[in-house]
Amino acid sequence: MTLTIYGLECKSTKKARQWLKKHEIPFVDRNIIKEPLTVNELQEILRRTVDGTDGIIATRSKIYKELNLDVEELSLQELLEILHEQPRLLKSPIIVDEKRLLIGYHEDEIRQFLPRSTRKSQWMNWRLNNFNLAEG
């Protein structure tokens, strides 16, 4: 299973990289400024999001404000082409593998990329520790 981080050189992307390295999860790192996402890659990411374009567009970014975009007025194809040309419009990082997608760095949500056996082991340890605390 190949895990890929699409990101900018920002704090959230750095945290995600550090977390994955700490947990020994191999990943491919792709700087979206140097190598922007293609329209097809953007379509695939959008297909997997729950929130559609709202989930991937950084509406608080400087470039979003400068471009004064009205996403509702654009066709999907126009929007995808703008996102390809202006990768700073994307939230960062975008972390994907064959089954999962995470937009941004969220310490609880990134755990989904841990192997199931590791998650189960950590959960059992947590449960055991909390059970012992409750008795002690």
Cite the active site residues.
10
Q: Are 80 and 56 in contact (CB under 8 A)?
A: no
Distance from chain centroid for Cα 15:
11
Question: At 78, which amino acid appears?
Answer: E
Strands of 94-96's sheet in order across: 28-31, 4-7, 94-96, 101-103
